[in-house]
Amino acid sequence: MSVLYADVQWQPVLDAVQQAKQIHIIAHVSPDADTIGSQLAVYHALKAMGKSVVMHNRDIAPYICRYLPAVELITHGEIPDGIACSDVVIAVDAGSLGRLGVDPSYFEGKTLINIDHHASNTQYGSINVIDARYCATGAMIYDLLQYLNIPLDASSAAAIYAAVLTDTASFRLASVSADVHRMTADLIDAGADVELAAQSIYRSHKPARFELLKYALDSLDICHDGRTAWISIAHHLYEKTGLCGEDSEGFIDYARSIEGVDIAVFIREEKPQEWKVSFRAKSPCDVGVVAGKLGGGGHQYAAGCTLFGTLDKVQKEIKHALVDMLSL
Ligand code: AMP
Ligand code: MN
Ligand code: MN
């Protein structure tokens, strides 16, 4: 095994962890497999060090992560007292404090360790390890484990594999280097089950998802001379199919897969008049910048934000924010 990046400053994390009485590991809101996989891998590592560790998020882990060892130990909702008494909090894969979905006062008097690969990270921690060279926060945890001298066990390997697989769109992004594949080989050697991951992440969807997909594809609209593709799903369609946001994960890939499309936009109405917007880009467009203008954030190729009002209003706001990017 070898580290992906040897120049990352992990020592402050080790110092804080060694002094901690209880550590709360937290993922971002609407968690994806990178944040949950990172959370679990840190959990396994700290447990191996004999630390007292708890995992708690605002939102429930997505069903695609339910096969990962120890995922059932992650609690969600209001933070109970037994967790709130933690003296160290480790946030993984969250670009800003707001993404943790917790009142900022929660962190007063605690050491907040912010580990993330978003270039847009606001450095909100008392210790910040931010590195946009990494394809996933899970890959940062792979390096952290080596810094901590914790051997990669099957549980951490599975968690990091899920993080990397999903954040690289199944090893299809420019962030996937030969070193990322070498790391993946280590993960498989350590016991990450590739077939189980594929089965759980890509082949365990509810039949109703495909009802929803029909509505989504029906809404497909190609604009800007074929350079942008738009998909939207209104709240009542989630109600009609009995589904929620996580069940439309991946729909945006249909828009992105169209020849000539530089930017794909997926707008879903999470609650009435509250729209979760996802962007995907192909070079040279940077949707992280577009999402940033709209109060969200993300990476060059994948970003998002939340907007309010009617679909028409939201689409106009997005089109306005896109103008500069499309002149590239
Ligand atoms: P998604 O389209 O939900 O898969 O999100 C793609 C990426 O955009 C995520 O990995 C985050 O980095 C980022 N992102 C999504 N929504 C937000 C938001 N509201 N604020 C900041 N970053 C976001
Ligand atoms: Mn994430
Ligand atoms: Mn990530």
Query: What distance in Å separates the CA atoms of residue 118 and residue 136, rounded to the nearest whole number?
Result: 9
CB 168 within 8 A of CB 66: no
Of 3.60.20.10, 3.40.980.10, 3.90.1150.10, 3.90.1640.10, which CATH number belongs to 11-202?
Answer: 3.90.1640.10
Domain residue ranges of the chain, discontinuous segments joined by +:
11-202, 208-326
How many angstroms is it from 258 CA to the middle of ligand 2? Answer: 24
Residue in the structure block whose two tokens are 């695609």: 64
Query: What distance in Å separates the CA atoms of residue 115 and residue 131, rounded to the nearest whole number?
Result: 8
By CB neighbour count within 10 A (0-12 exposed, 13-18 middle, 19+ buried), where does 234 fall?
middle
Residue 180 pLDDT > 80: yes
Tell which atom from ligand 1 comes closest to the C-alpha of 28: 11
Pick from 233, 185, 179: nearest CA to 211: 233
Which tokens belong to 184? 């993946």
Handedness of CA 185, 191, 195, 201 (dihedral sign): negative
**Ligand 1 and 304: CB distance under 6 A:** yes
CB atoms within 10 A of CB 159: 29
Candidate of 28, 29, 32 to mutate for ligand 1, largest count of ligand atoms within 8 Å of Cβ: 32
- Residue 316: per-residue pLDDT: 98
The arrangement of strands across the sheet holding 263-271 comes to: 221-223, 228-233, 263-271, 274-281, 302-308, 297-298
Q: Global pTM?
A: 0.97
How many angstroms is it from 213 CA to the middle of ligand 2? Answer: 23
Strand partners, 264: 229, 280
The arrangement of strands across the sheet holding 111-116 comes to: 75-76, 53-57, 23-26, 88-92, 111-116, 127-130
The helix or strand, by DSSP H or E, that contains position 217, with its residue range, turns out to be helix 208-218
By CB neighbour count within 10 A (0-12 exposed, 13-18 middle, 19+ buried), where does 108 fall?
exposed
Residue nearest to atom 14 of ligand 1 (CA): 304
Query: What distance in Å separates the CA atoms of residue 40 and residue 17, rounded to the nearest whole number?
Result: 16
Strands 75-76 and 88-92 turn out to be unpaired
How many angstroms is it from 287 CA to the middle of ligand 3? Answer: 15
- Measured in degrees and rounded to the nearest 5, phi and psi for residue 271 equal -130, 165
Residue 1 pLDDT > 90: no
Question: What average pLDDT does range 289-310 have in this prediction?
Answer: 96
CATH node for 208-326: 3.10.310.30
Residue nearest to atom 16 of ligand 1 (CA): 304
- Residue 328: per-residue pLDDT: 67
- Residue 245: per-residue pLDDT: 96
- Residue 283: per-residue pLDDT: 79
How many angstroms is it from 229 CA to the middle of ligand 1? Answer: 18
Q: What are the tens digits of pLDDT across the range 197-240?
A: 999 999 999 999 999 999 999 999 999 999 999 999 999 999 99
Query: What distance in Å separates the CA atoms of residue 5 and residue 140, rounded to the nearest whole number?
Result: 9
3-state class of 285 per DSSP? coil
Tell which atom from ligand 1 comes closest to the C-alpha of 296: 20
- Residue 327: per-residue pLDDT: 86
Question: What average pLDDT does range 180-195 have in this prediction?
Answer: 98
Q: What are the tens digits of pLDDT across the range 42-95?
A: 999 999 999 999 999 999 999 999 999 999 999 999 999 999 999 999 999 999
